[in-house]
Amino acid sequence: MSSMLRYLAVSVGLLLTPAMAADAPAPDPTLVAKGLQFFNDAALSGSGNVSCATCHFSSGHTNNKTYVGLDVVADGNPDGRSTPTLWGAGERSVYGWGGTAPTLEESIRGIIVNRMKGAEPSKETLAALVAYVRSLPSPKNWQLNEDGTPSPAATPSVQRGFALFIGDGGCGTCHVLPSLDKSSRDDIGTGGRFKVPSLRAVVLTAPYFHDGRTASLRDAIKLMWGVYAKKMDTARTPTDAELDDLLAYVSAL
């Protein structure tokens, strides 16, 4: 990354600090394997027909569908909730579109009991499921450092996109590096206050926003630029070239 970009990152506090960089203990392989079994176990649901993998596949990624409860609905349904990826979910500070689950354990328990209508899971089952989900890393990209800043090998478009991300686009005010999310809930004019989602692997997680209203990542970026511009009371609009650069950076996350 260029010295100017690094300066910009430091100036807004986006670079990874040593404390944040400390690696968490590696999950126990035996517990992770047990968690994968539970992840695919439909017996955890009240109907015996659905499992965690129904919406997230065994890889923990999203199936790119929008749901009301366990029913698939059209993207953009105001009551719908877009299925997030679980890649990197162990790095979150709160969980769920409503941001109401303070721990991964409570989030998983809530999904089993409230959405899947299953029985109260045992502590052992929850521990295994948490271990499995924590074992799912976000994908790496050769153009980015571990903290999400561009590497020296990044294309000029990705580097320009990063400068916009932490600059005029205002993206970095909510999608804070290195997790690219924020624990608080924001109202961006889409029907309520929702947790700011992580942008890690975002290019693979369409449709976008809590209700899946936007199929195009470029359109989602353009919408959010407008939200930030309105908040800052500015008429600054992105050019097509700037949108292309922002898309290049965000797609590399």
Domain made up of 29-134: CATH architecture = Orthogonal Bundle (1.10)
Pick the CATH number of 3-21+140-252 from 1.10.260.40, 1.10.760.10, 3.50.50.60, 1.10.10.10: 1.10.760.10
pLDDT of amino acid 24:
60
The larger pLDDT score, comparing residue 221 to residue 4, is at 221
Q: What average pLDDT does the segment 13-38 reach?
A: 67
Reading the block at residue 233, the tokens are 């009371």
Q: Which of the four pLDDT bands, split at 50, 70 and 90, describes residue 234?
A: confident
**pTM for this structure?**
0.87
pLDDT of amino acid 27:
77
29-134 matches 3-21+140-252 in CATH topology: yes
Task: Please name which of 155, 128, 129 lies closest in space to residue 141, comparing C-alpha atoms.
Answer: 155
> Does the structure show a pLDDT above 70 at 88?
yes
pLDDT of amino acid 93:
86
User: What are all long-range contacts of 65-73, with beta carbons under 8 Å and residues at least 24 apart?
Assistant: 65/212, 66/207, 66/211, 66/212, 69/115, 70/115, 70/116
What are the backbone angles phi and psi of residue 15, rounded to the nearest 5°?
A: -75, 150
The residue type of 83 is T
Residue with tokens 């609905």: 73
The larger pLDDT score, comparing residue 241 to residue 18, is at 241
pLDDT (tens digit per residue) in 195-218: 999 999 999 999 999 999 999 999
Domain ranges of the chain: 3-21+140-252, 29-134
Task: Please name which of 214, 196, 193, 192 lies closest in space to residue 205, comparing C-alpha atoms.
Answer: 214
What are the backbone angles phi and psi of residue 183, rounded to the nearest 5°?
A: -75, -20
